Amino acid sequence: MKRIAIIGGGISGLSAAFALEQERRAGAALDYVVFESSSRLGGVLVTDHVNGCLVEAGPDSFLTEKPWASDLCRELGLADELIGSNDAERKTYILVNGKLVVIPDGLMFMVPTKILPTVLSPLFSFSTKLRMAREWFHPPHKANGDETVASLVERHYGPEMVDRLADPLLSGVYGGEASQLSVRAVLPRFSDMESQHGSLGRAMLAARRKMHASPNPARPLFTSLKQGMQQMVDALLARLPAASLRPGTVVQSIQPQAPGWVVSAGYGSDQFDAVIVATSTQSGSKLLEITSPEIAAELRSINYSSSVTVALGYDQSVRAALPPGFGFLVPRSEGKRMLAATFVHNKFPHRAPEDRALLRCFLGGARDEAILQFRDEEILRIAREELHQIIGLTTEPLFARVYKWPRAMAQYSVGHLERLERIERLSDQLPGLALAGNGYRGIGVPDCVRSGTAAASKSLSVLGFKRPQLSPA
């Protein structure tokens, strides 16, 4: 009987456990244990039910175009529970000089593909519009190495595009800043488009034409579950034997000891044949400090930012008065603490009754770690004050919830991909070790599912079980 330890019971660790469980049920002689320091499993996937509303504390959905999370849901028997975002309502605003301006039609991420709506939009100044026109003739450019997202976007469209779109969009996904994040790790398509086509606008248009020519019908941008993201965690837990789950157990260290690994947790230690570290890279670094100071140093150098979400429920009068659309983003130059807000009742069905409005505000991120230290009441006061300033909302909410996520969002800085290569080389020297989580090749839920599954594959193949080898973390 081979034994595998999984450290970290977030979606990455649980996906790894599910892959091992399937192998076990298929007859493989193996046993596994999921160690999770918190008393609940699921990591940042948490859904609350408040006053008839479904409130997501962490992620609310995943990108449909990345298939791994939906595929896992289907394997878990949740195919009928998958729902798409209400894309007919998809309209997002940017706060510009204190006013909400809608992102014009045809803007794909931050690349304009339709001339008229962009030219007529008050989102950009005349000089940025001029740069957009010139961008069309940008010659192909092969960058020598990695660079920040800000530097690539600025080369094409100037600094206003970085401030008004690149930064707010990236802070929504990574809680990070365009001036820090690696273009190769975060927007690899942009580097490819630039080297092949020169102009991002022309490249995007070519991609869009191809997409429209494809026989596949348009799919919603985001996918979620009727009962919220927690439904995925609950379905996973229902498939895993309770004896394999150890919530409330902090792992202190992992050390190789022939023929396997010793995992020290709580007051005891246990022997395993292989270990999957599915924590943040910061936690992983501490676990591996004694075994491999080199890998520990590489893992430590991947930084994380913190996030705060504030959910606010309102009555029908607020719902009727709010602007249509999915919500708004706030550029740093507007001088607010709020990074974004989602009008949840518009984005997904099944989230709020018809007579309720549900708002979700995002604060924190790489430039506002300090807010994590504030009391919930103070964070709520700031969110409400800024909602007043931005959308004129003064109504007392029916309910409010504040959720803090310290150091939860990995920041892929310049050189991230080279760092991953070094980490992979070093971890290959430690047989039986596999790494998974949001610190490596994608921060979204689908990427985490993929990394957990790939780590399980790596462990199985090292232990001599036949499994298709996916690329691990």
Ligand X SMILES: Cc1cc2nc3c(=O)[nH]c(=O)nc-3n(C[C@H](O)[C@H](O)[C@H](O)COP(=O)(O)OP(=O)(O)OC[C@H]3O[C@@H](n4cnc5c(N)ncnc54)[C@H](O)[C@@H]3O)c2cc1C
The contact set with ligand X (CB under 6 A) reads: 7-13, 35-38, 43-45, 58-62, 250-251, 278-280, 283, 307, 309, 405, 408-409, 437-438, 443-445, 448
* Shortest CB 83 distance to ligand X, Å: 14
* Shortest CB 67 distance to ligand X, Å: 13
Residue 199 vs 231, nearer CB to ligand X: 231
Bond before 59 cis per omega within 30 degrees: no
Alpha carbon 97 to its chain centroid, in Å, reads 29
* Shortest CB 452 distance to ligand X, Å: 7
* Shortest CB 80 distance to ligand X, Å: 21
Residue 96 vs 434, nearer CB to ligand X: 434
Alpha carbon 83 to its chain centroid, in Å, reads 18
* Shortest CB 69 distance to ligand X, Å: 7
Place of tokens 């990455």: 12
Residue 106 vs 168, nearer CB to ligand X: 168
* Shortest CB 399 distance to ligand X, Å: 19
Residue 106 vs 472, nearer CB to ligand X: 472
Residue 190 vs 222, nearer CB to ligand X: 222
Residue 132 vs 420, nearer CB to ligand X: 420
Residue 124 vs 222, nearer CB to ligand X: 222
* Helix 230-239 and helix 68-75, axial crossing angle in degrees, nearest 10: 50
Q: Which residues contact 209 (CB under 8 A, 6 or more apart)?
A: none
* Shortest CB 121 distance to ligand X, Å: 26
* Shortest CB 442 distance to ligand X, Å: 8
SS3 for the chain is CEEEEEECCCHHHHHHHHHHHHHHHCCCCEEEEEEECCCCCCCCCCEEEECCEEEECCCCCEECCCCHHHHHHHHCCCHHHEEECCHHHCCEEEEECCEEEECCCCEECCEECCHHHHHHCCCCCHHHHHHHHHHCCCCCCCCCCCCEHHHHHHHHHCHHHHHHHHHHHHHHHHCCCCCCEEHHHHCHHHHHHHHHHCCHHHHHHHHHHHHHHCCCCCCCCEEEECCCCHHHHHHHHHHCCHHHEEECCCEEEEEEECCEEEEEECCEEEEECEEEECCCHHHHHHHHCCCCHHHHHHHHCCCEEEEEEEEEEEEHHHHHHCCCCCEEECCHHHCCCCCEEEEHHHHCCCCCCCCEEEEEEEEECCCCHHHHHCCHHHHHHHHHHHHHHHHCCCCCCCEEEEEEEEEEEECCECCHHHHHHHHHHHHHCCCCEEECCCCCCCCCHHHHHHHHHHHHHHHHHHCCCCCCCCCCC
* Shortest CB 252 distance to ligand X, Å: 7
* Shortest CB 250 distance to ligand X, Å: 5
CB 64 within 8 A of CB 73: no
Residue 61 vs 459, nearer CB to ligand X: 61
Residue 149 vs 236, nearer CB to ligand X: 236
* Shortest CB 340 distance to ligand X, Å: 11
Q: Which pair of tokens denotes residue 286?
A: 């501490």
Residue 200 vs 236, nearer CB to ligand X: 236
Q: What are phi and psi of 38, to 5 degrees?
A: -80, 165
Residue 5 vs 161, nearer CB to ligand X: 5
